[in-house]
Amino acid sequence: MTDALRTLLPGYGLSHDAPLQLLNRSENETWLAGEGDAMIVLRHHRAGYHSRAEIAAELGWLIALQGHTALRCPRPLSGAMGEMIQTAAGRHVVAFAHIHGREPRAEDDLAPWFDALGEATAHLHAHARHWTRPPGFARKRWDVETILGPRPHWGDWRAAPGLDRAAHPVMTRLAAELTRRLGVYGHSPDRFGLIHADLRLTNLLIDDLGLWVIDFDDCGFGWAMYDFAAAVSFIETDPRLPDLAHRWCAGYGRVAPLSAADVAILPVMVMLRRLLLTAWLGTRADSDTARDIDAVRYTADTVHLAERFLSVGAARFLEG
């Protein structure tokens, strides 16, 4: 794989033998190339996930976001011939300018970062609503059908690791309740549109100037409030969750108003995302995230969260 990627490096102004380091393996592989001030980030796409048109759409949105003064997002790079999407080992490759910063950690004081993230997310949604998308813009939908339906993007929760027969009725009731509530909430343009869809901690960077929002690989069409649920991925059982929701909403509200229905749907989005991740851990066992998490335990905790959600109701689910 490194040999295949090295053939692309001269097109980005790097030598063929520049340092090349694997940073992360998830849906795709992310590599750091170069050293010192001459570093770039390469994303080597997983085969069969995004089409070339979908990747081009992501890059198009990122390029449009470069002029947004209230947002800091990755800058896509083109090769020597101006091409934004290249190929290595039969898979698509894209490049981004390197960003200096660190990921927020779950053990950090996350409250101020969720306030900043809420504000950034509102700016992101506002841009998406007013931006005129180019012809042929194609991205996946993140809705009930593609998350809970028979052919979901990230796997079927019914096949989650360690999900036993006794837990199926609870999970089935949860899926039905989420489907019902989301049907009532609806898909109006002020609630459903182009979103990041994966704003978890590993897709954020912080530096002395604040927050970067990175990795738009899963951006697509979904509920705006789903972006909060993505932000609390893998920390849904953290006792700070009610405060993080409050901080995120406060930051968001400084840019755009949130209706009572928007705030009320947040617990539903958290459980929708939780089901998605429970399924994903079973289909992406080769990812760095899956190796760091006990998937069977995660499934068991999902069942407990489902029981609590169904017992206390969405209105009380995020109460402190």
- Each residue's pLDDT expressed in tens, for the chain with a length of 320 residues: 789 999 999 999 999 999 999 999 888 999 999 999 999 999 999 998 999 999 999 999 999 999 898 999 999 999 988 999 999 999 999 999 999 999 999 999 999 999 999 999 999 999 999 999 999 999 999 999 999 998 899 999 999 999 999 999 999 999 999 999 999 999 999 999 999 999 999 999 999 999 999 999 999 999 999 999 999 999 999 999 999 999 999 999 999 999 999 999 999 999 999 999 999 998 877 777 877 889 999 999 999 999 999 999 998 898 75
Q: What is the dihedral of CA 281, 286, 289, 291, to 10 degrees?
A: 100
Q: Clarify whether residues 188 and 216 are in a common domain.
A: yes
Residues 53 and 6 in one domain: yes
Query: What b/e string do you get for 85-120 counting C-beta neighbours within 10 Å, with b at 16 or more?
Result: bbebeebbbbbbebeebeebeeeeebeebbbbbbbb
**Range of 26's domain?**
2-97
Q: What is the pLDDT of residues 273-301, one digit of tens each?
A: 999 999 999 887 777 787 788 999 999 99
148 and 19 in a common domain:
no
In a domain, 102, yes or no: no
Alpha-carbon distance 263 to 185, whole Å?
A: 11
Q: What is the pLDDT of residue 320?
A: 59
Q: Are 308 and 317 in contact (CB under 8 A)?
A: yes
Residue 78 backbone zone (phi > 0: left; psi -120 to 50: alpha; other: beta):
beta
Secondary structure (3-state) at 139: coil
Same domain, 45 and 132: no
Q: How many domains does the chain have?
A: 2
Same domain membership, residue 223 and residue 90: no
Same domain (yes/no): 85, 145? no
Instruction: For residues 128 and 44, state if they share a domain.
Output: no
268: domain CATH number? 3.90.1200.10
**Is the domain of 131 the same as that of 83?**
no
Q: Specify whether 69 is located in the same domain as 199.
A: no
Domain endpoint, select from 97, 124, 144: 97
What's the CATH number where 7 sits? Answer: 3.30.200.20
Q: Give the angle 93-57-201 at the CA atoms, nearest 5°.
A: 70
Residue 272 has a CB neighbour count (10 Å cut-off) of: 25
Residues 139 and 212 in one domain: yes
Q: Is residue 270 part of a domain?
A: yes
- The answer to whether the CB of 34 falls within 8 A of the CB of 19 is yes
pLDDT of residue 193: 98
**pTM, full prediction:** 0.96
Last residue of a domain, one of 72, 97, 122: 97
Residue 104 domain flag = no
In a domain, 299, yes or no: yes
The residue type of 187 is: H
* Same domain, residue pair 233 and 264: yes
Examine residue 103 and state whether it is found in any structural domain, yes or no: no
What is the structure's pLDDT at 135? Answer: 94
- Asked if 201 and 62 sit in the same domain, the reply is no
**Cα–Cα nearest to 33, from 124, 112, 96, 106:** 96
Asked whether residue 105 is domain-assigned, the answer is no
Please say which residue of 69, 97, 125 terminates a domain. 97
Among 251, 249, 254, CA closest to 225: 249
